[in-house]
Structure 1
Amino acid sequence: MGAPDDPGTARARKLAAKRANERIRLLAGFLNALAIAVVGAGFIVPVIGQPDRLLSPNLAWLVLGSIRHLVAQGVFAFLRSED
């Protein structure tokens, strides 16, 4: 095992941080896509169920989608420094 300033150790830490950050970005992207699907369902499901009421989205779907989007944004707080 090398010293803390050993280039191999620093390189390994940087690579580990990059991998962790990419996983966090993938999770945030997944949660955001899920939020878009939930909001979309909030508009599409009522339209299919009641075609005469085109603009009557279910508020609960919109709130859930918004919460998922905020959680996706919050996930970015876990990003690690790659320096």
Structure 2
Amino acid sequence: MTAEQYLSARLRRALAEDPRTTELGVRVTVRGDNVLLSGDVACAERRAELEAVIREVAPELTVLDDVRVVPAGEPEGREELR
């Protein structure tokens, strides 16, 4: 493993273990001095918390946030099962 892969794994673990995020579904990619976050979360607050955790664990990195907010509300309409 490269140093970037180790750092990516450390950051993923921080996101999974931090009580503010407990996030397993966000991808973390480190390239040079940048960390790219990508994936989907349920609200803007969670997205902001992800960035906060990364900045605390690796303040020397620039966070590039490609996380999408996808509300997880009740389904609209009926679902047809066949």
TM-score (norm 2): 0.29
Whichever structure has more helix as a proportion of its residues is: 1
Larger Rg: 1
TM-score, length of structure 1 as denominator length: 0.29
